[in-house]
């Protein structure tokens, strides 16, 4: 029996995997009784490379076509392996951690110039790619499924309403959107709550789209977008929102991030942070994602986030853990991405398609069975900044949902509707 075969037998409590060697010989491993997948190794070195560093090499071997999956998909294979024992059931047989050291991981510096490069690596590869699998508003973060049968478009609209409600918005306030993406959240907040928004990004491609969208909506005077690192900002804001950006800050910079946010907030300001996180303690980045998809990223544990904010006296006003919402989001992204395969191949190539297929599939199993989750954390500088119960959130969220996904035809109409709907909660 091969080393890989013995490993499969050890980790699979149910299901089976057939390995097909380069010479055509095949052997089935696992107890059976569940899902079955056939995996073909296309050259003799695959098994050894996979055994030495499975967390990195699994994705690379699949991306390069040296491993293929038959009578199933790469998602089926990852569901068998990662889903063999969910995180909450206790320790499981690890896939190997590579050679990186804990101190090296923790103290990886993420200075502004490096941050700009890392963001460009992922977001400046062409907006056409993201248009193929995201919703119409280009929300590239966890959606919020009030019903698991909802469309992705509806779930993303509900996500924006869910976040906006936690900001306790009032007309005329100044809002900072750190990591504004293609501008969807900033434009939404202006539309439903009559606030002025400054969105900042490090992606030139995203900046172009965000500015164009603001101009087309007729709100460029109230929703502005700039290419700037949050560390270089001055001024103060009534509200700060950050969605899907904190993953790129890096553990060594958490205290710096929160200290800067506190500096930028008014005394009675409110901040809402929406980020992918880790259940339990902090861990090392997934080596495949770190190398090929999001260089320099780090997923925080809730304890890391709380520890950093304690040091700069930012009060945690509210915490919500979205356990499975990102899994539903990623499944829809993977479905749309797979359906658009021919378009992806025209834009890039087969290798790129397989790289992203593995990335999206890996994300699904990490949220369904691994240690990944999504946190929404509200921060305040003053304990009196928001009402003492959460009722204001539910009331505001219900109002915001009435606006729907379609903007008003004219900015003046939009402003009037928003002013009426965004009256402060009592």
- What is the Cα gyration radius of the chain? 23
Residue 126 burial class via C-beta count within 10 angstroms: exposed 0-12, middle 13-18, buried 19 and up: exposed
Cβ of 90: how many Cβ atoms within 10 Å?
7
- First CA to last CA distance, the chain: 69
DSSP 101-121: -HHHHHT----HHHHHHHHHH
Tens place of pLDDT per residue across the chain (426 aa): 577 788 788 888 889 999 999 999 999 999 888 889 999 999 999 998 998 899 999 999 999 999 999 999 999 999 998 888 889 887 654 454 444 443 344 445 566 665 556 555 555 567 899 999 999 999 999 999 999 999 999 999 999 999 999 999 999 999 999 999 999 999 999 999 999 999 999 999 999 999 999 999 999 999 999 999 999 999 999 999 999 999 999 999 999 999 999 999 999 999 999 999 999 887 788 899 999 998 888 999 999 999 999 999 999 999 999 999 999 999 999 999 999 999 999 999 999 999 999 999 999 999 999 999 999 999 999 999 999 999 999 999 999 999 866 544 444 444 444 555 555 544
The residue behind tokens 């928003």 is 418
Rounded Cα–Cα distance for residues 205 and 201 (Å): 10
Q: Is the pTM of this model over 0.85?
A: yes
Rounded Cα–Cα distance for residues 75 and 294 (Å): 20
Phi/psi-derived region of residue 389, left when phi > 0, alpha when psi is between -120 and 50, beta in every other case: beta
Give the H or E element holding residue 265: strand 265-278
Give me 40's structure tokens: 């073909």
Which domains are seen in the chain, by residue range? 3-89 (no CATH), 112-421 (3.40.50.150)
Rounded Cα–Cα distance for residues 128 and 228 (Å): 23
DSSP 23-53: TS-EEEEEEESS-EEEEEE-STTHHHHHHH-
Rounded Cα–Cα distance for residues 319 and 272 (Å): 10
Q: 184-193 vs 204-217: helix axis angle to the nearest 10?
A: 30
Rounded Cα–Cα distance for residues 12 and 415 (Å): 57
Give the H or E element holding residue 350: helix 350-368
CA distances from 403 to 82, 163, 181, 219 (A): 40, 15, 22, 17
């Amino acid at each position: 029996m091969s080393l890989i075969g013995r490993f499969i037998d050890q980790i699979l409590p149910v299901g089976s995997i057939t390995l097909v060697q380069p010479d055509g010989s095949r052997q089935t491993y696992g107890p059976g009784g569940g899902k079955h997948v056939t995996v073909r190794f296309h050259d003799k070195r695959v098994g050894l490379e996979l055994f030495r560093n499975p967390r990195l090499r699994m994705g690379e071997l699949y991306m390069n076509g040296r491993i293929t999956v038959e009578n199933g998909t790469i998602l089926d294979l990852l569901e068998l392996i990662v889903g063999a024992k969910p995180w909450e059931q206790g320790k499981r047989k690890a896939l190997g951690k590579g050679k990186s050291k804990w101190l090296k991981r923790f103290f990886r510096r993420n200075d502004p110039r490096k941050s700009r490069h890392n963001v460009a690596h992922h977001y400046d590869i062409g907006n056409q790619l993201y248009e193929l699998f995201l919703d119409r508003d280009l929300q590239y973060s966890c959606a919020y499924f009030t019903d698991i049968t909802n469309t992705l478009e509806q779930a993303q609209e509900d996500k924006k309403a869910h976040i906006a409600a936690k900001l306790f918005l009032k007309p005329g306030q100044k809002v900072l959107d750190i990591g504004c993406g293609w501008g969807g959240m900033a434009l939404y907040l202006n539309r439903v709550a009559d606030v002025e928004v400054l969105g900042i990004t490090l992606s030139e491609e995203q900046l172009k789209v965000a500015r164009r969208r603001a101009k087309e909506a007729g709100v460029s005077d109230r929703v502005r977008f700039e290419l700037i690192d949050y560390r270089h900002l001055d001024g103060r804001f009534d509200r700060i929102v950050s969605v899907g950006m904190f993953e790129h800050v890096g553990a060594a910079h958490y205290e710096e991030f929160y200290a800067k946010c506190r500096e930028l907030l008014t005394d009675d300001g409110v901040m809402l942070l929406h980020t992918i996180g880790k259940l339990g303690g902090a861990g090392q980045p997934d080596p495949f994602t770190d190398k090929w998809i999001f260089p320099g990223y780090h997923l925080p544990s809730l304890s890391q986030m709380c520890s950093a904010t304690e040091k700069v006296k930012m009060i945690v006003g509210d915490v919500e853990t979205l356990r499975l919402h990102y899994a539903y989001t990623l499944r829809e992204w993977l479905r749309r991405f797979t359906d658009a395969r021919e378009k992806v191949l025209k834009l890039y190539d087969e290798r790129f398609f397989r790289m992203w297929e593995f990335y999206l599939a890996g994300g699904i199993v990490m949220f369904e069975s691994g240690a990944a989750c999504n946190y929404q954390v509200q921060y305040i500088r003053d304990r009196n900044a928001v009402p003492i119960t959460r009722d204001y959130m539910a009331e505001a969220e219900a109002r915001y949902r009435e606006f729907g996904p379609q903007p008003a035809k004219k900015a003046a109409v939009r402003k009037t509707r928003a002013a009426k709907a965004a009256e402060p909660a009592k």
